[in-house]
């Protein structure tokens, strides 16, 4: 660019010299004759042409400088334009990398990563060093605390359950299997009763959330965002009707890590109520298994539920898997039916390798009706006539039938949404496309059977 500018300035100087009468006179008297010299002499004798040429050269110089500068900085210019139209959102990985300075002794901007520009987009109204993308579920003291001891005492895993007071003893038995020094306990009270849990030793150290007649998936979508549970390595999202006589959480996680599993569940005791899929049944001679082999589930058949399958009853997720699963939970499909056939997409690898059932630590599915709230299995009296004998006899109302019907409808709705999403996203490639139809037929048959 400097060489070009020098050339232009040199030409400009020549024209200025040419505009001088003495120079023009020298050119006329020169013995050296250039081609077209008469034209130059005429131009020199008419200053208005010199001014036009000079103006044109000046414009060319200015335009060339602007174009070169824009070309050199085009990438940053496009970034600024894209950023101005970019909508705020969360990736499947959960955070935008803004949380670099959390809980550090030094919170200076020099410690922040190079990707701090994303922090500015997330919260550009505050200094970037104050942006904290994640939080946790740890309860803090109202008084002065030793920060080092607090960090050391942080729980590494989470047990979350939707519970009702009628299953208080069963829930207590479950919690006893989860060491409180490594697990945070979070209970979702779907019946609205909290005070009656306070006599349990672990209750005051646990989190209690109340919303009437909601499922664990409804709670999980609203209270277990990946940025909130980011500190936990493993997340247990369990039902309340499970027997845990042959289960211990710490031993379970050691096996899960040793087997390289990102998503798992404890095997079901053969004595369990409602074993819907053979892959979840315990194999006494195995530590863990990732597939089941039958006449239809051959070694070459990698379709769910032959492999890569866990039920929504007692799933366990790694942190990375949960970040994906949380986004899969539909806001209005609260029962979670149908998700078990798609959870393997969040396995952080091949679902046939990263999803499994652990046999060495197994549970009993008791099949206790729940989720209906305090009116479940209660006698609902008719109101036709307060003096009628019907007031004394009453009628039995079982809301579980309606729950099961809605669950089946949600299963079909989830599958339909998945298929529509696949059609609407041509950039997404399904790694299990060849099994899609088989799995869809299985879900449809299961849903139709459950509604009858």
Residue 340 lies in a domain: yes
Q: 46 with 93, same domain?
A: no
Report the chain's mean pLDDT, rounded to a whole number. 78
Average pLDDT on 368-390 reads: 46
Per 3-state DSSP, what percentage of the chain is helix, strand, and coil (rounded to 5)?
45, 10, 45
**What are the pLDDT digits (tens) for 279-292?**
999 999 999 999 99
Q: 54 with 168, same domain?
A: no
Q: 210 with 118, same domain?
A: no
Q: 46 with 161, same domain?
A: no
Rounded to whole angstroms, the Cα distance separating 224 from 230 reads 9
Number of domains in the chain: 3
User: So what's the pLDDT on residue 18?
Assistant: 45
User: So what's the pLDDT on residue 38?
Assistant: 62
Rounded to whole angstroms, the Cα distance separating 241 from 239 reads 6
**Residue where a domain terminates, one of 353, 374, 395:** 374
Average pLDDT on 116-144 reads: 77
Residue 316 lies in a domain: yes
Residue 108 lies in a domain: no
Q: 240 with 119, same domain?
A: no
Residue 107 lies in a domain: no
Beta bridge mates, 243: 364
Average pLDDT on 342-353 reads: 96
Q: In 3-state terms, what secondary structure has residue 341?
A: helix
Answering whether pTM is above 0.85, one says no
Residue 24 lies in a domain: yes
User: So what's the pLDDT on residue 269?
Assistant: 96
pLDDT band for 125, please (50, 70, 90 cuts). confident
Residue 406 lies in a domain: no
**What are the pLDDT digits (tens) for 233-263?**
999 999 999 999 999 999 999 999 999 999 9
Residue 444 lies in a domain: no
User: So what's the pLDDT on residue 126?
Assistant: 86
User: So what's the pLDDT on residue 232?
Assistant: 96
Q: 347 with 260, same domain?
A: yes
Q: Which residue has the tokens 């074993």?
A: 275
pLDDT band for 196, please (50, 70, 90 cuts). very high
Residue 344 lies in a domain: yes
Q: 283 with 342, same domain?
A: yes
Query: What is the CATH number for 354?
Result: 3.90.550.10
Cβ neighbours of residue 404 closer than 8 Å, sequence gap 6 or more: 450, 451
Average pLDDT on 99-124 reads: 48
Average pLDDT on 328-334 reads: 94
Q: 348 with 322, same domain?
A: yes
Beta bridge mates, 238: 161
User: So what's the pLDDT on residue 8?
Assistant: 42
Rounded to whole angstroms, the Cα distance separating 405 from 262 reads 31
Rounded to whole angstroms, the Cα distance separating 153 from 182 reads 8
**Residue where a domain terminates, one of 328, 356, 374:** 374
**How do strand 379-380 and strand 395-396 relate by DSSP bridges?**
antiparallel
8 Å CB contact between 220 and 329: yes
Q: 345 with 266, same domain?
A: yes
Q: 11 with 97, same domain?
A: no
Average pLDDT on 346-361 reads: 97
Average pLDDT on 371-381 reads: 41
* 301 CB-side CA count, 13 A: 15
For the cut 80, the answer to whether the pLDDT of residue 386 exceeds it is no
**What are the pLDDT digits (tens) for 212-222?**
999 999 999 99
- Work out the angle at residue 221's Cα, subtended by the Cα atoms of residues 220 and 222, and round it to the nearest 5 degrees: 90
Q: Which residue has the tokens 């034209």?
A: 39
Q: How many CB atoms lie within 10 A of CB 197?
A: 19
User: So what's the pLDDT on residue 227?
Assistant: 95
User: So what's the pLDDT on residue 9?
Assistant: 46
Q: 178 with 301, same domain?
A: yes
Give me the numbers of helices (H) and strands (E) for the chain, helices first please: 15, 11
Q: Which residue has the tokens 């999202």?
A: 237
pLDDT band for 393, please (50, 70, 90 cuts). very low
Specify the higher pLDDT residue, 57 or 78.
57
**What are the pLDDT digits (tens) for 59-108?**
887 877 766 566 555 544 444 444 444 433 344 444 444 544 444 333 33
For the cut 60, the answer to whether the pLDDT of residue 162 exceeds it is yes
Cβ neighbours of residue 143 closer than 8 Å, sequence gap 6 or more: none
Q: 118 with 179, same domain?
A: no
**How do strand 157-163 and strand 242-243 relate by DSSP bridges?**
unpaired
Closest CA to 401 of 435, 377, 430: 377
Specify the higher pLDDT residue, 157 or 93.
157
Rounded to whole angstroms, the Cα distance separating 32 from 209 reads 100
For the cut 60, the answer to whether the pLDDT of residue 173 exceeds it is yes
**What Cα–Cα distance (Å) separates residue 227 from each residue in 98, 186, 223, 263?**
11, 16, 10, 19
**Phi/psi at 355 (5° precision):** -120, 130
How far, in whole angstroms, is CA 287 from its chain's centroid?
31
**Residue where a domain terminates, one of 329, 357, 374:** 374
Domain residue limits at 94: 89-102+114-134
Q: Which long-range contacts (CB under 8 A, 24 or more apart) does 172-175 make?
A: 172/200, 173/243, 173/244, 174/238, 174/240, 174/242, 174/244, 175/200, 175/202, 175/206
User: So what's the pLDDT on residue 273?
Assistant: 85
Specify the higher pLDDT residue, 254 or 134.
254
Specify the higher pLDDT residue, 397 or 58.
58
Question: Which DSSP string corresponds to 386-431?
Answer: TTSTHHHH-EE--THHHHHHHHHHHHHHHHHHHHHHHHH-TT---T
């Amino acid at each position: 660019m400097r060489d070009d500018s020098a050339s232009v300035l040199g030409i400009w100087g020549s024209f200025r010299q040419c505009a001088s009468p003495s120079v023009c006179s020298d050119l006329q008297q020169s013995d050296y004759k250039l081609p077209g010299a008469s034209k130059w002499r005429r131009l020199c004798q008419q200053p208005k042409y010199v001014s036009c040429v000079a103006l044109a050269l000046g414009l060319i110089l200015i335009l060339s400088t602007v174009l070169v500068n824009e070309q050199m900085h085009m990438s940053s210019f496009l970034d600024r334009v894209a950023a101005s139209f970019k909508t705020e959102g969360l990736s499947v990985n959960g955070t935008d990398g803004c949380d670099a300075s959390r809980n550090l002794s030094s919170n200076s901007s020099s410690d922040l990563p190079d990707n701090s520009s994303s922090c500015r987009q997330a919260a550009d109204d505050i200094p970037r060093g104050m942006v904290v993308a994640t939080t946790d579920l740890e309860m803090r003291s109202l008084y002065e605390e030793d920060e080092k001891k607090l960090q050391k005492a942080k729980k590494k895993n989470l047990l979350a359950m939707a519970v009702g007071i009628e299953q208080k003893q069963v829930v207590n038995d479950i919690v006893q299997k989860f060491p409180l020094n490594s697990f945070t306990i979070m209970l979702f009270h779907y019946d609205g009763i909290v005070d009656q849990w306070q006599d349990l030793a672990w209750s005051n150290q646990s989190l209690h959330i109340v919303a009437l007649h909601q499922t664990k998936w409804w709670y999980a979508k609203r209270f277990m965002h990946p940025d909130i549970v980011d500190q936990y390595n493993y997340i247990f999202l369990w039902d309340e009707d499970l027997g845990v006589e042959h289960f211990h959480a710490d031993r379970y996680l050691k096996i899960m890590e040793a087997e390289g599993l990102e998503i798992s569940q404890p095997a079901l005791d053969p004595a369990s109520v409602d074993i819907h899929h053979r892959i979840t049944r315990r194999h006494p001679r195995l530590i863990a298994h990732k597939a089941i082999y039958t006449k239809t589930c051959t070694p070459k058949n990698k379709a769910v539920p032959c492999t890569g399958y866990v039920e929504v009853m007692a799933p366990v997720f790694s942190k990375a898997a949960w970040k994906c699963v949380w986004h899969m939970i539909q806001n209005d499909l609260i029962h979670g039916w149908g998700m078990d056939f798609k959870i393997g997409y969040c396995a952080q690898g091949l679902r046939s390798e990263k999803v499994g059932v652990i046999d060495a630590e197994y549970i009993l599915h008791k099949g206790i009706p729940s989720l209906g709230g305090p009116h479940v299995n209660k006698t609902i009296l008719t109101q036709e006539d307060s003096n009628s004998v019907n007031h004394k006899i009453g009628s039995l109302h079982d809301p579980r039938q309606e729950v099961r019907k809605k669950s089946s409808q949600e299963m079909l709705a989830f599958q339909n949404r998945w298929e529509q999403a696949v059609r609407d996203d041509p950039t997404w490639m399904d790694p299990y496309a060849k099994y899609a139809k088989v799995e869809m037929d299985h879900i449809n048959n299961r849903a139709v059977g459950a509604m009858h």
